[in-house]
Amino acid sequence: MTTLSLLKIFLPALISFLIGIFSAPVLADFLYKNKMWKKKAKTVALDGSGTPIFNSLHAIRETNTPRMGGVLIWSSAVITVIIFWLLAHFIPEIAKIDFLSRSQTWIPISTLLLGAIIGLVDDYLEINGGGGALAGGLSLRKRLLLVGIISFFVALWFYFKLDVTGIGMPFGFPIFELGWFFVPFFVLVALAIYSGGVIDGIDGLAGGIFASIFSGYAIIAFIQNQIDISAFCAVLVGGILAFLWYNIPPARFYMSETGSMALTITLVVIAFMTDVRGEGHGVITLLIIGFPLIATSLSVIIQLLSKKIRGKKIFLVAPLHHHFEAIGWPASKVTMRYWVVGIILTLVGVIFAFL
């Protein structure tokens, strides 16, 4: 672990942050000038019932705060990658801190861009979908299908190109071999983590949680000596922190689908990259570091099942963070407590990753 390795991680992260900070006003001006927000608040839940509690909490903000803020995150990261790649071709010394590599970062960068583009299309349709079949954006089923397709091909790459057929286990246990079932397992993990992207519902909440999660994996990859992956995670953190600067209450814009889809799919790839390939157990660790996302998904699933089976709700409103709002917690308190829990879980997860 040399000074050069640390420079390779922190310098790109700083550049990504600065790109985000200085480009955010331009993005915000564009989003407000073009009124890139929902034209009406959500009125129907996943099960077809109404959303009166959610509307009482967020209806006004939903219809006057722009979406597509996630563009700031992935564009800052991608521009940083391009800058260091270009400089490496002209300045030999820079080549030592260029972190674009086929073995470590091509796949996560590709999923970041694919998720970002699909999410951006969904955001645009939700804002300007008109009255056609795509009004309100892509349906949940279509989004899950697209995430499933992306993760399926990435899983095939892991299985056939990288010879990954299992997941690492903690406490010195041997690799848990999955054989061909590795591919559907990868897809299931991707869908589960993607569904946690609905944590983007309160100013500053998603940004803080994702910053904590990717910081954890930056540390894990660094200790595994996967420096390029660590640098890429750090670059994402830089972009997320720049976004968070403008997303803390009152938010200038929301992350929305272009950010959450890009980050969740990429997170799954990073977790698997820090698993068997890094001689670790990054996937099992995701249960700890990514628990805020998992808990968000579970709260929605539990709510839907309870309403279908028992005929009544468990939470006042789902996802879970809106339940806390509904019982009287100020949005800022929900956000800050999620941040605290997220940081603690990240620390526990990093320790667990090396047991």
pLDDT in tens, 317-344: 889 999 999 999 999 999 999 999 999 9
- 136 has pLDDT over 80: no
- 46 has pLDDT over 60: no
% pLDDT > 90, the chain: 79
Average pLDDT over residues 184-188: 98
- Residue 57 binned pLDDT confidence (cut-offs 50, 70, 90): low
Average pLDDT over residues 207-213: 97
User: Domains in the chain: how many in total?
Assistant: 1
DSSP collapsed to 3 states, the chain: CCHHHHHHHHHHHHHHHHHHHHHHHHHHHHHHHCCCCCCCCCCECCCCCECHHHHHHHHHHHCCCCCCCHHHHHHHHHHHHHHHHHHHHHCHHHHHHCCCCCCCCHHHHHHHHHHHHHHHHHHHHHHHCCCCCCCCCCCHHHHHHHHHHHHHHHHHHHHHHCCCCEECCCCCCCCEECHHHHHHHHHHHHHHHHHHHHHCCCCCHHHHHHHHHHHHHHHHHHHCCCHHHHHHHHHHHHHHHHHHHHHCCCCCCCCHHHHHHHHHHHHHHHHHHCCHHHCCCHHHHHHHHCHHHHHHHHHHHHHHHHHHHCCCCCCCCCCHHHHHHHCCCCHHHHHHHHHHHHHHHHHHHHHHCCC
Least confident residue range of 116-120, 130-134, 303-307: 130-134
Average pLDDT over residues 225-237: 97
Q: 264 is in which domain, residue-wise?
A: 3-352
User: How much is the pLDDT for 134?
Assistant: 56
- 59 has pLDDT over 60: no
- How many other CB atoms sit within 10 Å of the CB of residue 333? 12
- 311 has pLDDT over 90: no
Task: Tell me the range of 89-93, 127-131, 191-195 where mean pLDDT is highest.
Answer: 191-195
- Residue 38 binned pLDDT confidence (cut-offs 50, 70, 90): confident
User: How much is the pLDDT for 201?
Assistant: 82
User: How much is the pLDDT for 63?
Assistant: 74
> What Cα–Cα distance (Å) separates residue 206 from each residue in 105, 173, 247?
24, 34, 9
User: How much is the pLDDT for 328?
Assistant: 92
User: How much is the pLDDT for 52?
Assistant: 65
User: How much is the pLDDT for 218?
Assistant: 98
Mean pLDDT taken over the chain: 91
Q: Specify the higher pLDDT residue, 126 or 40.
A: 126
- Residue 279 binned pLDDT confidence (cut-offs 50, 70, 90): very high
Average pLDDT over residues 186-191: 98
Least confident residue range of 1-5, 18-22, 91-95, 286-290: 1-5
pTM of the full structure: 0.94
User: How much is the pLDDT for 335?
Assistant: 95
Average pLDDT over residues 59-77: 87
Least confident residue range of 26-40, 105-119, 334-348: 26-40
